[in-house]
Structure 1
Amino acid sequence: MDLSNSRAIVTGGASGLGAATAAHFRKMGAQVTVLDLDHAGEAAATAIGAGFAQTDVTDEASVAAALDHAVGLMGGIDICVNCAGIATGEKTLGRDGPHGLSSFRRTVEINLIGSFNVLRLAAERMALNDRPENGVIVNTASIAAFDGQKGQAAYAASKAGIAGMALPLARDLAGQRIRVCAIAPGIFGTPMLKGLPQDVQDSLAAEVTFPKRLGDPDEYARMAAFIVESEYMNGEVIRLDGALRMR
């Protein structure tokens, strides 16, 4: 698939990894529609010449309407990149008692079920393309899926689900000529992390094997583009982490 002749949706495209991906895809010539719950995403989309649909990834009707809007804008969907997600930090048993069930459920609902909700409905629309390759889906896992730290039970579980479904999704959708991969980022310089004190950022960067710095969201975007344009890349989870192994 050639990005310069493709139509992409990017969830969580208002900021961070999603915004970088939407901008990079547009720079490569792709049509893009940004899906985000934050209405501020409309300004971000407009700035790069992309469409926008305010979307709750956990709601079937909201996602269906957003995808129909994207099809109306672009004429179809070839690429789905799922970047929408939240981070939760809470110990299984802390000073105030056991981990909140509602916070665990919300994390899984947004990160895992939300991604699946979007991709399953996007795949339905990709299957209508009738091309040698009908679509590519890129989900966002995390290195926490493999070596999550304390306080990351909910987040790690949600991202492990993303990693675990990459291969079965690829197998499920092979008949529709749709590929599926996932990227497992390490510590990236997203707006949320950039809001931390500089000494905290420096401490996190020092843990990375090499290069000793935070990941640049544009590096995630370029990896997503590589997956899209590499036809033999399928069913894989790619760590993008500077060889960081969290303890």
Structure 2
Amino acid sequence: MRYAKMSAIVTGAASGLGRATATRLAAAGMHVVLVDLPTSDGAAVAEELRTNRPGASAAGGSDVAASGSGAGSAPPAAAAQAVARTSRRRTDRRTDKHLPRIEFAPADVTDEKQVAAAVGLATELAPLRVVVNCAGIATPAKLLGRDGPLDLAAFDRVLRVNVLGTVNVTRLAAQAMADDAGAGRGSPRGPGAGAGTASVTRDDAVPDRGVIINTASVAAFDGQIGQPAYAASKGAIHSLTLPLARELARYGIRVNTIAPGIFETPLMLGLPERARASLGEQVPYPQRLGLPDEFAQLVESIAENAYLNGETIRLDGAIRMAPR
């Protein structure tokens, strides 16, 4: 991956699309800061990712002494095996120190101080190069419901988390990325290009400082009845993409957006099996719900492709949502 050995921030990382994204970026060798609410499973997810990192030591506990009155009493073959095991464990411990760091930063994405702390943590680990905004909420409600007009507080909350939260993370992360004076002007990516090498086409090109990837939804284009708040918030994320990409181009920062369709997130998995199957049948092909790792795979592809900028990509199996 182009940004291996550098740092990434993933919001909404305790579950669903965010968790899958954090998992894939960690596997690619990046230091990853998982951002989610303090009440989330973020700490447990971070610990799980640490344990499953490629190259992480599986050996645990203390070395077991050979049986008998002393080391010399063990048969030569057994003694050699014990020494080999000890050597491997010591090597594992040394290797662990150089593995990518996986950290949890509890934060509400709408809180400036909490997000600033998460960004600061990421920049301490390594240059910040990838930011993925997955945090978001959906509160279905009609404009004119059974109990009267739409509750403005509920509408405001959805826009606040989905739009203001995304902008808050993006602005603070972009500032940290733009301030990085160490961004290099490397050779174009290709055969022989090292991990973490900036991808540019000319010696005088703007240094590559990374990519910001936001999450919209097919609701931005095919909003259904009962989704005015959610559709409006995701439409805003789509509309932000091009102006932010144009503005941040001078700093060598790309901005792209993914608009996922119906995915196997915790919300969807909470539905009855029949309901999930019905939703999957609405997808032209493949006729199923999307997998979170397929979203994460697209994140990785966007990060790797230096020419992909200012674009919203639908990831939906060609579905076009019906009114209901």
The 5 A counterparts of 1:95-110 are 95-110=146-161
Residues 38-82 of structure 1: CA deviation (Å, up to 9, x unaligned): 34201101211211100110111111122112222x133111000
CA distance in 2, matches of 1:187, 1:3: 29
Query: Superposed, which structure 2 residues align to 1:1-12 within 5 Å?
Result: 2-12=2-12
Classify the secondary structure of the residue corresponding to 2:131: strand
Q: In structure 2, what residue type is equivalent to 1:176?
A: Y
**Which amino acid counterpart does residue 66 of structure 1 have in structure 2?**
A
Corresponding residue to 2:132 among 81, 102, 117: 81
In 2, are the aligned partners of 1:3 and 1:225 still within 8 Å (CA)? no
Instruction: Name the structure 2 match of 1:35.
Output: 35
Q: Which residue pairs with 1:117 in the alignment?
A: 168
* 2:319 is aligned with 1:244: yes
**Equivalent residue for 2:110?**
58
Q: Among all aligned residue pairs of Structure 1 and Structure 2, give the percentage whose two residues are the same amino acid.
A: 53
Task: Find out whether 1:48 has 2:49 as its counterpart.
Answer: yes
Please say which of residues 213-222 and 56-65 is displaced more in the overlay: 56-65
Using the alignment, how far apart are the partners of 2:40 and 2:140 within structure 1?
Answer: 26
Q: 2:272 is matched with which residue: 172, 185, 197?
A: 197
Taking only aligned residues, the RMSD between alpha carbons, in angstroms, comes to 1.0
- The aligned counterpart of 2:66 is none
The alignment status of 1:211 with 2:306, answered yes or no, reads no
SS of structure 2 residue aligned to 1:215:
coil
Question: Is the contact between residue 186 and residue 240 of structure 1 (CA under 8 Å) also seen in structure 2?
Answer: yes
Equivalence for 2:144? 93
1:203 CA drift (Å): 0.6
Unaligned runs of 5+ in 2: 51-101, 184-206
Q: Counterparts in 2 of 1:223-234, with a 5 A limit?
A: 223-234=298-309
2:177 equivalent among 98, 121, 126: 126
Residues of 1 paired with 2:180 and 2:164: CA distance?
Answer: 25
Instruction: Tell me how far 1:36 sits from its aligned partner.
Output: 0.5
Q: Which runs of 4+ in 1 moved over 3 A?
A: none
**Alignment check: 8 A CA contact 1:10 1:34 kept:** yes
1:181 — aligned with what? 256
Q: Conserved in 1, the CA contact under 8 Å of 2:224 and 2:321?
A: yes
What's the CA shift for 1:138?
0.2
On the 8 A contact 1:184/1:240 being kept in 2, the answer is yes
Deviation, 1:128, is 2.3
Residue 192 of structure 1: how far off its partner (Å): 1.3
Give the structure-2-normalised TM-score. Answer: 0.74
AA matched with 1:14: A
Question: How many residues in Structure 1 have an aligned counterpart in Structure 2?
Answer: 246
| Conserved 8 A contact 2:6-2:126 | no
Q: CA deviation at 1:10?
A: 0.2
Contact 1:166/1:236 (8 A) holds in 2:
yes
Q: Secondary structure at the match of 2:288?
A: coil
Q: One-letter code of the match for 2:175?
A: E
Alignment partner of 1:14 is 2:66: no
